Amino acid sequence: MSASAVCAAGKAPVWAQLTADQQTVLRPVRQDWDRLPEFQRQRLLAAAKRYPKMSPAHQQRFSQRLPGWTKLTLEQRNLARKRYAQYASLPKEQQLEILKRWHEEHPEEPSPAP
């Protein structure tokens, strides 16, 4: 059964059922894929579908951060989504100020995803 057929049935496929393109995008989580919760595999498949339309910088950030993201608990991921939504709703000037402070506190780390 193909990955799209499995997804249409409402069940995320196991690693072996993913297409070659999906496996390429999701390679950073290959070792953990079959142990990830169903809802998390569904979300990652949706992200893999959007991947070709991402900018090269966004694709790189996605690939680098994917392993860490999947290791977070559901509560931690939900908190991160909530904080991002709060950040995104701020005026641009306030976002830039927060980003500037973050860089001052974390000079050795790359920029957080806007």
What is the predicted pLDDT for the residue at 105?
A: 87
Q: What is the pLDDT of residues 11-67, one digit of tens each?
A: 889 999 999 999 999 999 999 899 988 988 999 999 999 999 999 999 998 988 888
Share of the chain above pLDDT 90, in %: 53
Q: Which amino acid is at 99?
A: L
Separation between Cα atoms, residue 44 and residue 58, nearest integer Å: 15
- Averaged pLDDT for residues 68-72: 86
Separation between Cα atoms, residue 65 and residue 2, nearest integer Å: 27
Tokens 């900018």 locate to 55
Domains in the chain: boundaries: 1-71, 74-114
Separation between Cα atoms, residue 23 and residue 28, nearest integer Å: 9
**In the predicted model, is pLDDT for residue 90 greater than 50?**
yes
Q: How confident is the model at residue 6 (pLDDT cuts 50, 70, 90)?
A: very low
Q: What is the DSSP letter of 18?
A: S
**In the predicted model, is pLDDT for residue 2 greater than 50?**
no
Q: Which amino acid is at 80?
A: A
Neighbours of 64 (CB within 10 A): 11
